[in-house]
Structure 1
Amino acid sequence: MQKTLVIFKPDCMAQRHVGDVLSRFEHAGFSVIGCKMIRLTSALLRDHYAHVADKPFYPEIENFMSSRPVIVAALAGEGIVQKVRDLLGPTDSRKAAKGTIRGDFGTDMMVNVVHASDSEENGKTEIARFFKADEIFAE
């Protein structure tokens, strides 16, 4: 059973789409194995976005992602990493088809509803970044 991390981004929270998005994940057969609301700190964001933290656009990402509390969730399911990414659509919401989460609710490259792990390895790393071991539950 694969695991992945999703972050319901500030735009998802502000527009009250969490229930709709989570419902799509559940209807796809995925299980929620961890879930909590947090405020992302600068240190946590720098760690999470280390691959772009030195880029000129990074401060905009940090400002956006820390603008309000978010919900982080660990999900489990067969082939979940790719299936979640397929449900989301492309990172740039302007290129996402209607019927995908980003196509239905997103705005652009950053204001795109949900972050999702891009590989099984990153899913494990990201879940460990946001959850203690006793905050993850098996079915």
Structure 2
Amino acid sequence: MALETTLILFKPDAVAKRLVGTVLSRFENEGFKINGIKKLFLTDELLADHYSHIADKPFFPSVRDFMQETPVIALALEGEDVISRVRDLLGPTDSKAAAPGTIRGDFGDKEGDAKMRNVCHASDSTEAAAAEIKRFFKDGEVF
């Protein structure tokens, strides 16, 4: 097992539904350690950088609009194999396909866009986590 740090973004649906504390407690109950946490509004520039792999797609404006509905909560979370374990806790990206007991299965949107309104973003690799943490946290904000 490797000690890792991952980035979690509590998306606007989680913020609007007041699910941040509930979901955060699931992460803490797994033994993960909070190394950084903050609330921020995602600018067009930050979203274009974060979603650079889809920024040229016709659906990107709807992603941007959703991610700017409310401020988000950025979380740097540390633990043994935290990247894969968090992704298991979240369940599949599509909340409609997520099993009960997973975060997305319990709290994700089942009626609308279940792939976007799915509570949290989580890094998918150590390389992505390093880049994403650097993107959302300034020096001295992750402990």
* TM-score (structure 2 length as normaliser): 0.95
Whether 1:7 and 2:22 are equivalent positions in the alignment is: no
CA distance in 2: counterparts of 1:121 and 1:76, whole angstroms: 15
How many residue pairs end up in the alignment?
Answer: 137
Q: Which residue of 1 aligns with 2:116?
A: 110
Deviations 1:66-103 (A, max 9, x none): 11111000000010000000000000000000000000
Pick from 120, 137, 142 the counterpart of residue 136 of structure 1: 142
Q: How does 1:26-37 map to 2 (within 5 A)?
A: 26-37=28-39
Q: Which residue of 2 aligns with 1:97?
A: 99
* TM-score (structure 1 length as normaliser): 0.97
Amino acid at match of 1:76: E
CA distance in 2: counterparts of 1:93 and 1:118, whole angstroms: 17
Deviations 1:16-71 (A, max 9, x none): 00001000000011000000000000000000000111111111000000111110
CA distance in 2: counterparts of 1:9 and 1:132, whole angstroms: 20
CA distance in 1: counterparts of 2:18 and 2:120, whole angstroms: 13
Identity %: 58
Whether 1:38 and 2:44 are equivalent positions in the alignment is: no
Give the unaligned 5+ runs of structure 2. Answer: none
CA distance in 2: counterparts of 1:30 and 1:58, whole angstroms: 32
Amino acid at match of 1:111: R
